[in-house]
Amino acid sequence: MAEGATIEEQSLPRYHERRYYPVKIGDVFKNQYRVIAKLGYGAYSTVWLAWDQRTKQYTSLKVCVSPDTESSPVLNEINMLRRLKGFPDTEQRELPGIGFTRLADDIFEIDGAFTNGRHYCSASWPDGQSIRVLQETFLDAILPKLLVKSFIHRLWFSVNWFHSTCGIIHADISPQNVLMQLEDHSSLSDIEDQELLNPSVPVTTTNGVAPVYRSRRNKLELSGFPVLTDFGQMRLAEGQINRDWWTPDLYRAPEVLSGLPWEYPVDVWSIGVLVSVSGIVIGSSRASHVGVIHLITSPSWRRRAVAASD
């Protein structure tokens, strides 16, 4: 096994402060989910391809870091997933919106013997790569206009369900949080075959208890069917004033950048910026983003922003 190298989640800021569960390929969770391969990672979790031994289907297993505060994005996402699952129409997957939203089929906890904490896990229907990964395959990250129209049209159904039925603001819509649906599970079978033929070799820490695997990417599919995911920053629209922010600078609405209270429209703004991948260049820095907003908003808005910052 390799040792000393820095890969995947190890390269993230505060990696050692965030207690990742040491998942190993071949582990079985809840006597039901057998881990096949690693699919990805983030600041608060790792994601694995698993085999559901009860349903005899592939599943995407998200294993979260042990939450360190009550306001942790991990706890927020778990609470929101449970809230969404509690709506009467959630089981009716054919309804507009639900089919384009990554809900949890199962939520459970595991003990972290080496992390001194509890870890939440969620099992979901597996999906494909993110729009961010898809952008990397096109010149200047500009996607075909017909593809953009297709997934934006369907993304609205998901956001509308959040807003009109659930009373929830996603608050973190960006290319990395929109996945493309898989047309079938052949690519998942391919990943399992690859893992059998060429097993992943993890990088281990000096104490040998925290293996880190490299992710295996499934194939890119231009299905045009998006799946909105990552609910760690979701907020309730009623009963609280929202002023914090997490979305990358480019996707933040004017009220977020200006420190004003925000509600449902921040999701609308983020989707509008997503449309920019069809050819509208906004810029990548915070300064250029704010400059564009100043060009398209009125003087009265700028006075509000200045007043809010005083």
For residues 59 and 108, the answer to whether their CB atoms sit within 8 Å is no
Taking the C-alpha atoms of residue 128 and residue 46, their distance in angstroms, rounded to an integer, is: 16
CA gyration radius, the chain: 20
Can you tell me whether residue 157 is helix, strand or coil?
A: helix
Q: Residue 220 burial by CB count (10 A; 0-12/13-18/19+): exposed, middle or buried?
A: middle
Taking the C-alpha atoms of residue 34 and residue 306, their distance in angstroms, rounded to an integer, is: 54
Element (H, E) at 239: none
For residues 153 and 96, the answer to whether their CB atoms sit within 8 Å is no
Element (H, E) at 293: helix 286-296
Catalytic annotation, residues: 172
Taking the C-alpha atoms of residue 96 and residue 100, their distance in angstroms, rounded to an integer, is: 8
Taking the C-alpha atoms of residue 193 and residue 177, their distance in angstroms, rounded to an integer, is: 27
Residue type, 83: R
Kindly report the number of other CB atoms within 10 A of residue 195's CB atom: 19
Taking the C-alpha atoms of residue 221 and residue 264, their distance in angstroms, rounded to an integer, is: 30
For residues 128 and 190, the answer to whether their CB atoms sit within 8 Å is no
Taking the C-alpha atoms of residue 201 and residue 209, their distance in angstroms, rounded to an integer, is: 14
Contacts of 102 (CB under 8 A, 6+ apart): 124, 125, 127, 179, 227, 228, 229
Q: To which residue do tokens 């398209």 refer? A: 296
